[in-house]
Structure 1
Amino acid sequence: MKKPAFKKVYLFFSSLFIFILHMPFVFAKAKTVIGFLDKNPTNHPVAAIDSPLVNTVNGPLVKIDLYDSLCLGSLGLARQAFDYAMKGFMVMKSSGELTNGNIISIIDFSKPSSEKRLFVLDVVHYKLLFNTYVAHGMQSGKEFAKRFSNKPKSNKSSLGFYETLGTYFGGNGYSLKLQGIEKGINDNANKRAIVIHGADYVNESFIHSQGYIGRSWGCPALPERQHKAIIDVIKNGTCLFIFSPDNSYLSHSRILNHGAGPMLAFK
């Protein structure tokens, strides 16, 4: 009757001994991996953006990648759009362009308008605040935005980096002014009255009927049921980046090419 009990005790202490024996190897491996990550910041594209730190057992604090931690890829945000947005965000922040460096909004025009392609991120608290539909200019394309312009009355979207300004009530109701900060690319935003506003054509019923949402005269229009909440979060000095894998923009943007050569002013 005593043998089963003795066997259980023996197995318990044997397992405990093996566990203790392997502990140094586990920690050594963890330190090696963590040390590699800390010495290779390029493995963390967002490391420079005050990434949150996670405490590890017997190891240093490790920075987490914002894109992966918020599963932005699975939500449809292109990695290229995110990386370019973060680069420009840091350029704007370091130059004192932003009065609110906690928030960044990314519009990914590599996606069709039938997908939720606006992402509003809190980079300090690592939160996805909004992910919703956004319109492009009627002359930029139907389902996809493919053509862009900085010219007044072009009815096309303009790519690049913007600083959000103040709000006002206009013909489209509660709206948000935008300042395009890339010369020759989007700096006519004020002249063109390119603003963020709500629109009844930005809704899923349009997607069901025609395969894409309605289009604007160039404004990044939002769903009426969400635009006020979004505007109140991103107003007054935050960064907005409108992305497309457009070769002309990518090669001419002084912000995205910042650091590739001599210092270039982007205004």
Structure 2
Amino acid sequence: MALALGGCQVRADEARSLPSALQKALVAVPAREDTASIPSASAAPVPDSLALTPVPAVPEVPDTLRQAIRRLHTALGPAAADLRPEVLEQACVGYLTLHPTGRIERAGLLAVADMDLPNTSRRLWVLDLRQAKVVHHSLVAHGEGSGRLRATRFSNLEKSACTSLGFYRTADTYDGIHGYSRRIEGLDKGQNANAYDRYVVLHAADYASPKYIAQHGRLGYSRGCPALPPEQFKAIIASVRVGSMLLISGPGLASRWLDGRAAGRRFLARGWD
């Protein structure tokens, strides 16, 4: 009962919509400070911008694996056009490093969200690595404490209302205040290890929909959960069943699982299995 009541709370912020910024090349809109949900140590607000943060290449990835990831990106087709190759590389390296440790059990499937993209973009992908296929492609909301149109702050702290970067293992489903939801467990100490205790889960939200964008010029905000469109959430949650890997990527991502050498060895031995 405590879990159902303590889950990710909706803060749609409906009183404020992005003014004419989207129509005028997204003129800078300062992020609102909220001392109740943003840690005092967080950085100064950063204006919204369409200039994405460069993603560094994962070090020590063998050429064989790097070329395989490039081929995968091409094979995924138009649905993955906005999935940056560098973010796909992070996801694939993490998957190959994590899978043999037993921390994730489901082979051949991963989910990746690029939270550096504006929240008006479909920035979540569920990928079938064996078939080189995009299984799902959808909008996903970030936490209220992380920023407005784009997420610029990330935190693992309780009550931060922020999105947490890093690799996750999907856990069980339950019916909570948002209906059908799936728990996720953070696998990166210091970045997302508090996700389970913060009740950061996959769930549906009406503020994570194309209709909301049409009305407000951007998505609404969660309390840190990767909230999904009502039209797609059931299929997405069902597809990332227990033991699947989710990467939430964004500026400043650092993870022990971004081990290029270990990923290369695993790929040579087993491919995507």
Aligned in 2, Cα 1:122/1:141: closer, same or farther, shift over 3 Å?
same
Cα distance in 1 for partners of 2:133, 2:65 equals: 22
Residue 190 (structure 2) aligned to one of 177, 184, 187: 184
Aligned residue in 2 for 1:4: none
Shift of 1:258: 6.2
Deviation per residue, 1:119-157 (Å, 9 max, x gap) = 000112221110010000011001101100000110000
Residue 209 (structure 2) aligned to one of 203, 210, 217: 203
Cα distance in 1 for partners of 2:79, 2:241 equals: 26
| Structure with a larger share of its residues in helix | 1
Contact 1:73 1:79 in 2 (8 A): no
Aligned residue in 2 for 1:255: 257
Contact 1:103 1:120 in 2 (8 A): yes
Amino acid at match of 2:214: H
Deviation per residue, 1:103-131 (Å, 9 max, x gap) = 10000112100010000001122211100
Amino acid at match of 2:149: E
Cα distance in 2 for partners of 1:242, 1:85 equals: 9
Amino acid at match of 1:155: A
Aligned residue in 2 for 1:226: 232
Amino acid at match of 2:256: R
Shift of 1:71: 2.4
Contact 2:73 2:80 in 1 (8 A): no
Residue 242 (structure 2) aligned to one of 233, 236, 240: 236
| Structure with a larger share of its residues in strand | 1
Contact 1:45 1:83 in 2 (8 A): no
Stretches of structure 2 lacking an aligned partner (at least 5 in a row)? 1-61, 263-273
Aligned residue in 2 for 1:170: 176
Shift of 1:72: 5.7
Cα distance in 2 for partners of 1:258, 1:41 equals: 11
Contact 2:93 2:259 in 1 (8 A): no
Contact 1:102 1:238 in 2 (8 A): no
Contact 2:120 2:218 in 1 (8 A): yes
TM-score by length of 2: 0.70
Shift of 1:209: 2.5
Stretches of structure 1 lacking an aligned partner (at least 5 in a row)? 1-38, 47-63, 261-267
Runs of 4+ with deviation above 6 angstroms: none
* Rg larger in structure: 1
RMSD over aligned Cα atoms: 2.0
Cα distance in 2 for partners of 1:43, 1:140 equals: 31
Aligned residue in 2 for 1:17: none
Amino acid at match of 1:83: E
Aligned residue in 2 for 1:142: 148
Identical positions, percent: 36
Aligned residue in 1 for 2:115: 109
Contact 2:173 2:183 in 1 (8 A): yes
Residue 223 (structure 2) aligned to one of 197, 208, 217: 217
Cα distance in 2 for partners of 1:43, 1:183 equals: 27
Higher relative contact order (CA 8 A, sep 6+): 2
Deviation per residue, 1:188-236 (Å, 9 max, x gap) = 0111000000011111122123221111000000001111111111021
Q: Indicate yes or no: 2:167 matched with 1:161.
A: yes
Contact 1:160 1:182 in 2 (8 A): yes
Cα distance in 1 for partners of 2:123, 2:129 equals: 18
TM-score by length of 1: 0.71
The count of residues paired between Structure 1 and Structure 2 equals: 201
Aligned residue in 1 for 2:128: 122
Residue 157 (structure 2) aligned to one of 151, 156, 175: 151
Contact 2:94 2:259 in 1 (8 A): no
